[in-house]
Amino acid sequence: MSESDWLSEPNTAYENWQRTEAAGADRRPFAEQSIVQHQAMFARFLRYLSAHGKTVATYGLDDIDAFFVELAGDVTEGTTTRLRYLKLIDRLTRHLVAMEIRKDNPAATMLVGVSWPEDEPTPVFLSEINDRRLQAACVVPPDATFKQLRDIAVISVFLGSGITAGECRSLRMEDIDVDGIRPDVYVQKQGPRIARRVPLDDFALDVVREYGHTRASLGDGSGFFFIATATGKPMKDDTLGKCVKSALAALGITAGDMSPRLLRNTYGRRHICAGATNEQVSNLLGLSSHRTAARLRQTIDCD
């Protein structure tokens, strides 16, 4: 990639670099899932730079520090997210220096004395009691507005299928089947994750069915299952996150990470307790690795 590519189409230049030249600490090419994650992280860093009038050739130490201040609001304490971003920025900047697009690497000084934590943090999940309480709250309220019904349906889908916020945001009307012999959610292929059908747990069916009927009556033509406006505009991640926080707050439930990830982990853990293997849970979650399932299993004793 030339200097002009990095300045005119940085996202494309970064993707090409990841797929053709970039490598990890062991000098091996990155796996497809890692490439997709890196692209999303780079895109977020680039959006910050663009919003502050900087490019990949002009950011400095102060810009990286300020980016991490902004990022802190979305990072759960105890995770390696900040370190992963820092290593990504360092690797990127070293490449740009080698390409003579930059003269210095301000990220290098930030890595001095920094190391990976010896143990990964324990995944956050709802206790079995709070899981049951939230399930019990997934009911159709009397005289509910469309927004109220939608928000409860969002919680029902997260807690009842374990899909991610991005997967939920992309759901189409035809992806939800609550009337078949085995009700499920069809998750379209996203990045390295293959398309899959995820069983929808029984407690979620009535709310999702009622919302689906109401949603179909709008006839806006967008096709999205969950919408932010009557014109069919898809929901954003922050709105989905607010749905989760509001539902938990209404029950007086607090957690270190009150996001869709909390309900996704709860779904996976519930199925492990019901006898599912690590492989089965990983398949339900759309993961190629069993690491998340193994970490969830370590939090319980199902024997």
Do 95 and 153 reside in the same domain of the chain?
no
73 with 14, same domain: the answer is yes
State the CATH number of the domain containing residue 49: 1.10.150.130
Note whether 275 and 134 are same-domain residues.
yes
Q: How many structural domains compose the chain?
A: 2
- Would 119 be classed as within a structural domain? no
Query: What confidence score (pLDDT) does residue 23 get?
Result: 67
Q: Which long-range contacts (CB under 8 A, 24 or more apart) does 185-192 make?
A: 185/157, 185/161, 187/163, 187/286, 190/166, 191/32, 191/33, 191/36, 192/31, 192/32, 192/33, 192/36, 192/288
- Up-side HSE of residue 183: CA atoms within 13 Å toward CB? 16
Containing domain of residue 21, as a range? Answer: 3-110
In this prediction, residue 302 has a pLDDT band, given cuts at 50, 70 and 90, of: very low
Specify the pTM. 0.64
Q: Which pLDDT band, with edges at 50, 70 and 90, does 38 fall under?
A: confident
Cα of first residue to Cα of last residue in the chain, in angstroms, is: 55
Res. 30: pLDDT tops 80: no
Are 136 and 273 in a shared domain? yes
Domain of 244, CATH number, reads 1.10.443.10
Same domain, yes or no: 70 and 141:
no
Two tokens, residue 209 = 């069915």
Q: What is the arithmetic mean of pLDDT over 279-285?
A: 91
Instruction: Decide if 115 is inside a domain.
Output: no
Domain presence at residue 13 = yes
Same domain for 138 and 255, yes or no, is yes
- Residue 177 and residue 184: Cα distance in Å, rounded? 5
Task: Check whether residue 286 and residue 140 sit in a common domain.
Answer: yes
Domain identity same for 169 and 290: yes
